[in-house]
């Protein structure tokens, strides 16, 4: 029987993974194995998912698990979002952009939206009718978010938005986009505001190319253009303009922790498939697991993965308790994604030439892992944030 990524590390379950969280994990794995994994190659080729998969995920309780029930969610916590992200990693369907929608986009609306905004958008995000994206990055502003140029000018009871964004996850499918804009360019960070654009409701919005990436093929990543896009001033997130930068800083720890979930779950899957492979594959008349190098290498990787998992679980416990501090969230993001790339690379090596063949899952993990060190704030920026706490 194939090694289960969920138990490859022989660790006890953390206290935050109680019965309802464990049930959600099992449900997510079953759903992804039945509905998404069989079609994954199709989505990889199309370089995006289809709306039907989103609606099915919604019908199966995998969207907005941590949003309150009165807004159509399941009333859970980050623990629930974590196990959905982990299920995606364990099943090998990490290109399905639901984790970003659930644990990154929806929380902005929950935390900063008015009652009316929450009632308007969250229930439709929970069904999958609205697909979320967050558009921060621009061609001239990535790490340096203060350099955002997209302009939102007030015109009566509307904002007129002009600018362009790039590298936006879910960009081809999203119809609810939180756009990072400048409402007052003179004020720098204090002139930044988050404005929701419901793309089905506006004119002047254009999707650019679905960008050609080296990995995460099924996850659409796009340029977006805003040409005199008009939205009601009621689409501003927060009670007044200029709060966008603070809102981003408050939400980025959860985004970074979520990237940690993606990292540790792929690490566990990489170990599971590699353990199975080295038991099967023979060289010099014996399974390659019998070579001491293979044993030592896997012993090292399992040890490192265990350290990573214990750290991640501890971060989740702290996050649920009182919100993870930005410095520890940066540590989790940088360290776990570095570890992910290292472990996946070493696991690929143990596959020999087969590891370089796309038909083996480790090959896709190798391509998909790389971007984890870049998005959500590069690992260099994470180190800058950590260094500031010294
Ligand atoms: C697949 C993918 C999906 C993405 N999804 C989204 C999304 O949904 N929404 C969104 O808004 N963005 C998204 N991004 C963008 C991502 O967050 C940015 O690419 C990232 O923040 C880095 O910005 P940049 O690409 O402009 O690199 P740059 O900022 O140009 O950085 C280039 C290099 O310089 C280094 N560097 C920059 N500043 C410093 C410094 N002060 N000190 C030391 N080194 C520094 C960086 O670490 C990096 O190595 C995505 C990117 C990718 C590739």
* Architecture of the CATH domain 246-387: Up-down Bundle (1.20)
158-207, pLDDT tens digit by residue?
999 999 999 999 999 999 999 999 999 999 899 999 999 999 999 999 99
Bridge partners of residue 194, in order along the sequence: 180
Judge contact between 355 and 348, C-beta under 8 A: yes
Q: Which fold has domain 5-130?
A: Butyryl-Coa Dehydrogenase, subunit A; domain 1 (1.10.540)
Question: Where does residue 370 rank: exposed (0-12), middle (13-18), buried (19+ CB within 10 A)?
Answer: middle
210-239, pLDDT tens digit by residue?
999 999 999 999 999 999 999 999 999 999
pLDDT of residue 296: 98
Residue with tokens 């659409």: 220
Which pTM was predicted?
0.97
Confidence of residue 142 (pLDDT cuts 50, 70, 90): very high
Confidence of residue 29 (pLDDT cuts 50, 70, 90): very high
Confidence of residue 136 (pLDDT cuts 50, 70, 90): very high
Residues 47, 255, 300, 380: which is the catalytic one?
A: 255
Judge contact between 173 and 218, C-beta under 8 A: no
Q: For ligand 1, say whether the CB of 334 is within 6 Å of any of its atoms.
A: no
pLDDT of residue 1: 87
Does residue 308 register a pLDDT over 90?
yes
Superfamily designation of domain 133-242: Butyryl-CoA Dehydrogenase, subunit A, domain 2 (2.40.110.10)
- CB-based burial, 265-281: b 16+ in 10 Å, e otherwise: bbbbbbbbbbbebbeee
Domain positions in the chain are 5-130, 133-242, 246-387
Q: Ligand 1 centre and the CA of 357: distance in Å?
A: 29
- Same fold yes or no, 133-242 and 246-387: no
pLDDT of residue 309: 98
* Ligand 1 atom with minimal separation from the 136 CA: 11
Nearest-angstrom CA–CA distance, 26 and 40: 19
User: Residue 353 has which token pair?
Assistant: 């030439």
255 is catalytic: yes
- Mutation pick for ligand 1 pocket among 97, 108, 143, 169 (CB with most ligand atoms within 8 Å): 143
């Amino acid at each position: 029987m194939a090694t289960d990524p969920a138990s490859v590390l022989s660790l006890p379950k953390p206290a935050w993974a109680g019965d309802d969280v464990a049930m959600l994990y099992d449900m997510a794995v079953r759903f992804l194995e039945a509905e998404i994994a069989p079609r994954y190659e199709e989505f990889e080729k199309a370089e995006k998912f289809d709306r039907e998969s989103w609606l099915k995920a919604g019908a199966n309780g995998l969207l907005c698990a941590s949003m309150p029930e009165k807004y159509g969610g399941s009333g859970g916590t980050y623990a629930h979002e974590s196990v959905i992200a982990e299920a995606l990693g364990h099943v090998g369907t990490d290109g399905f952009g639901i984790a970003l929608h659930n644990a990154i986009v929806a929380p902005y609306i929950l935390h900063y939206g008015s009652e009316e905004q929450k009632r308007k958008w969250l229930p439709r995000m929970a069904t999958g009718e609205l697909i979320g994206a967050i558009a921060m990055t621009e061609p001239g502003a990535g790490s340096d978010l203060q350099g955002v140029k997209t302009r939102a000018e007030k015109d009566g009871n509307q904002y007129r938005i002009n600018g362009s964004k790039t590298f936006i996850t879910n960009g081809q499918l999203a119809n609810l986009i939180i756009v990072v804009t400048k409402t007052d360019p003179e004020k720098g960070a204090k002139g930044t505001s988050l404005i929701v654009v419901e793309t089905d409701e506006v004119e002047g919005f254009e999707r650019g190319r679905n960008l050609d990436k080296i990995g995460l093929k099924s996850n659409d990543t796009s340029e977006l253009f805003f040409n005199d896009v008009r939205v009601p001033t009621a689409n501003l997130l927060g009670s007044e303009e200029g709060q966008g930068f603070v809102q981003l800083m408050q939400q980025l720890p959860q985004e970074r922790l979520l990237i940690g979930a993606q990292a540790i779950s792929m690490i566990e899957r990489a170990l599971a498939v590699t353990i199975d492979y080295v038991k099967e594959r023979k060289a010099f008349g014996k399974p390659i697991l019998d070579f001491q190098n293979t044993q030592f290498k896997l012993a090292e990787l399992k040890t490192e993965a265990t350290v990573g998992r214990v750290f991640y679980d501890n971060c989740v416990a702290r996050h649920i308790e009182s919100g993870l501090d930005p410095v520890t969230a940066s540590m989790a993001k940088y360290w776990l994604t570095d570890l992910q790339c290292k472990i996946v690379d070493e696991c690929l090596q143990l596959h020999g030439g087969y590891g370089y063949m796309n038909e083996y899952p480790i090959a896709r993990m190798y391509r998909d892992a790389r971007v984890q060190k870049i998005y959500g704030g590069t690992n260099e920026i994470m180190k800058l944030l950590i260094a500031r706490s010294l």
